[in-house]
């Protein structure tokens, strides 16, 4: 096995990356970059009914969207390809023949109905279902007779009657007792490998040193360990990371909302924020800080700080963290990031300078970029529409009309409405009406934006300009 660290991310192309898979890819990539090793992308597409080229392409897009570049794999090439399992079938068949020749594998002619009946009998007895081994001792003549009967044959691995132990980098020493597994299939009747067989062969031939994956694979590992030992290969180090739960502490699923990476990308969650947030679902910085640059994540990532317990996907925390990253965007980058969402809203956009001024006003109020259309709506409409909360507040305000009329009386005293001029007007309105605090500012905010809450008002008023501010307040008075 190679001395340099080599890790792999091996998704099945059956759709966009799920958040759990994305987190696995991120931890593999961070560890490879931390170790000066290689990050390999392998496509496990032997599920011919569900695998599609469209899904494979979407996986590439999802990874590139997170800025996770792979060193070897489809489109990148490398010395250990091909990197799609569908292109490696002859390799798997070679090692299946090797298992048969050594007596560690055998043909199994059991039908699905027979296997299901075995399973049901075990369940009724309260036993862990596993294959009985009924085809283990078939003679060559008996096998030939079954073929003449038209029965298709899979190839099973002959599981040794011994305990299996391995050291997991998160969970420590794990031991599985003898007879915990029945003889399992390595090649299906149609000539396609099973996951446990193909993964072992690929990881060995691609010189993978660390297998970092979800802990739903823990029970696969002893099967793979037996396979490594039987084939005389060195076993890689295993690291099983905890599953992700929804806020109700059940396994994360569609009923919790968005679960695929593209859904978050399409809402305007930034790549660096997603990488930061998802890495912290299993790991924490020694500093205790949570907003970490990609460089710091690479520098500080350590298996010793990976958690054993499941991680909770907290959307509120993700929104906060993404908002931090949005506020750090320079004006040009913010403009380019927001432009698709403003164009999708169908707004008649002003020049770049004005647009940058508008975005600077709302920047600190964005949790994700899709919100920019709603937050800037006031700028693009001729007549402000009140939110339900704003309409209720207006109906209950006794001071609003006094504030509006006082503001309209003061406005002509200023040739242009700068931020400072707006503040002076509000001071005068306060003195003239005696209205202060929320009762003073809320009516003006509602008139200019239609909402109860939002960015600072002075820059909004300055950007809208004297005539638009007058018109908005006059309209609501009317």
Q: With a cut of 70, say whether residue 199 has pLDDT above it.
A: yes
Indicate the angle between helix axes 221-231 and 89-102, nearest 10 degrees. 70
Q: In terms of C-beta distances under 8 Å and separation of at least 24 residues, what long-range contacts does 177-181 make, across chains too?
A: 180/128, 180/222, 181/130, 181/222, 181/223
251 pLDDT tier (thresholds 50, 70, 90): confident
Give the pLDDT band of residue 391 (cuts 50, 70, 90): confident
Residue with token string 């040193």? 209
pLDDT digits (tens, 9 = 90+) for 433-468: 999 999 999 999 999 999 999 999 999 999 999 999
The residue-averaged pLDDT of 310-314 equals: 92
pLDDT in tens, 344-384: 999 999 999 999 999 999 999 999 999 999 999 999 998 88
> Lowest-confidence range among 153-162, 220-229, 256-265?
256-265
String of DSSP letters for 417-453: --HHHHHHHHHHHHHHH---THHHHHHHHHHHHSSSS
pLDDT band at 256 (very low <50, low <70, confident <90, very high): low
Residue 234, CA distances (Å) to 14, 161, 205, 231, 238 in order: 31, 21, 11, 9, 12
Q: Which positions ≥6 away from 122 have C-beta within 8 Å?
A: 128, 129, 130
Q: How far apart are CA 352 and CA 100, in angstroms?
A: 69
- Catalogue all structural domains in the chain, each as residue range(s) with its CATH number: 1-69+242-328 (3.40.50.620), 88-241 (3.40.50.620), 330-370 (no CATH), 388-477 (1.10.10.350)
Which of 250-259, 291-300, 321-330 bottoms out in mean pLDDT, i.e. has the lowest? 250-259
* pLDDT value of residue 394: 83
User: Mean pLDDT, to the nearest integer, of 273-280?
Assistant: 97
Residues 185-188: contacts with CB under 8 Å, at least 24 apart:
185/108, 185/154, 185/155, 185/156, 185/157, 186/96, 186/99, 186/105, 186/155, 186/156, 186/157, 186/227, 187/92, 187/93, 187/96, 187/154, 187/155, 188/154
Preceding peptide of 451 cis, ω within 30°: no
Q: Which residues contact 253 (CB under 8 A, 6 or more apart)?
A: 246, 259
Closest residue by Cα to residue 321 from 352, 359, 292: 292
- Active-site residue identified among 57, 67, 94, 254: 254
CA dihedral 310, 315, 321, 327 (to 10 degrees): 170
pLDDT digits (tens, 9 = 90+) for 102-142: 999 999 999 999 999 988 988 888 888 889 899 999 999 99
Q: Average model confidence (pLDDT) for the chain?
A: 94
Mean pLDDT of 283-310: 94
pLDDT (0 to 100) of residue 236: 98
Q: Cα angle vertex 366, ends 360, 370, to 5°?
A: 105
pLDDT at 257: 64
In the prediction, which pLDDT does 255 show? 67
pLDDT of residue 398: 87
Q: What is the pTM of this model?
A: 0.91
471 is catalytic: no
The 10s digit of each residue's pLDDT in 8-52 is 999 999 988 999 999 999 999 999 999 999 999 999 999 888 999
The pLDDT score that the predictor gives to residue 259 is 84
Q: Is the pLDDT of residue 390 over 90?
A: no
208: pLDDT strictly greater than 60: yes
């Amino acid at each position: 096995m190679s001395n340099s660290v080599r890790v792999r991310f091996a998704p099945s192309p059956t759709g966009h990356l799920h958040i759990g898979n994305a987190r696995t890819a991120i931890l593999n990539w961070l560890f490879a970059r931390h170790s000066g090793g290689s990050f390999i992308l392998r496509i496990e597409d032997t599920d011919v009914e569900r695998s599609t080229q469209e899904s494979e392409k979407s996986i590439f897009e999802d990874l590139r969207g997170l800025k996770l570049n792979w060193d070897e794999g489809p489109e990148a090439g490398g010395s250990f390809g091909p990197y799609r399992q569908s292109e490696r079938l002859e390799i798997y068949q070679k090692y299946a023949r090797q298992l048969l020749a050594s007596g560690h594998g055998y043909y199994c002619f059991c039908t699905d109905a027979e296997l299901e009946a075995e399973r049901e009998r075990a369940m009724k007895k309260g036993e862990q279902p596993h294959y009985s081994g009924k085809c283990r001792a078939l003679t060559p003549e008996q096998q030939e007779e079954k073929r003449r009967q038209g029965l298709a044959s899979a190839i099973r691995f002959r599981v040794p009657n011994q305990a299996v132990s391995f050291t997991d980098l998160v969970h420590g020493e794990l031991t599985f007792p003898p007879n915990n597994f029945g003889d399992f299939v390595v090649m299906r009747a149609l000539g396609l490998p099973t996951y446990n067989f193909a993964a072992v062969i690929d990881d060995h031939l691609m010189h993978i040193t660390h297998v970092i994956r979800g802990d739903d694979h823990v029970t696969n590992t002893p099967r793979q360990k037996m396979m490594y030992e039987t084939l005389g290969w060195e076993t890689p180090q295993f690291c099983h990371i905890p599953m992700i739960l929804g806020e109700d502490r059940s396994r994360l699923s569609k009923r919790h909302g968005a679960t695929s990476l593209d859904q978050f990308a399409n809402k305007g969650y930034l790549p660096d924020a997603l990488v930061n947030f998802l890495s912290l679902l299993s790991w924490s910085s020694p500093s205790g800080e949570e907003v970490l640059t990609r460089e710091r994540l690479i520098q500080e990532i350590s298996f010793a700080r990976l958690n054993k317990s499941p991680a909770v996907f907290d959307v509120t925390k993700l929104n906060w963290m993404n908002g931090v990253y949005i506020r750090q965007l320079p004006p040009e980058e913010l403009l380019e990031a927001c432009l698709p969402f403003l164009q999708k809203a169908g707004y008649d956009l002003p020049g770049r300078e004005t647009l940058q001024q508008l975005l600077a006003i709302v920047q600190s109020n964005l949790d994700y970029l899709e919100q920019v259309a709603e937050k800037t709506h006031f700028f693009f409409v001729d007549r402000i529409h009140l939110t339900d909360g704003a309409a209720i507040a207006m109906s209950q305000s006794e001071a609003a009309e006094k504030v509006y009329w006082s503001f309209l009386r003061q406005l002509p005293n200023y040739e242009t409405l700068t931020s400072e001029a707006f503040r002076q007007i509000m001071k005068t309105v306060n003195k003239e009406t005696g209205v202060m605090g929320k009762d003073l500012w809320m009516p003006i905010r509602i008139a200019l934006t239609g909402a109860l809450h939002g960015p600072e008002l002075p820059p909004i008023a300055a950007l809208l300009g004297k005539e638009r501010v007058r018109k908005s307040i006059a309209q609501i008075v009317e």
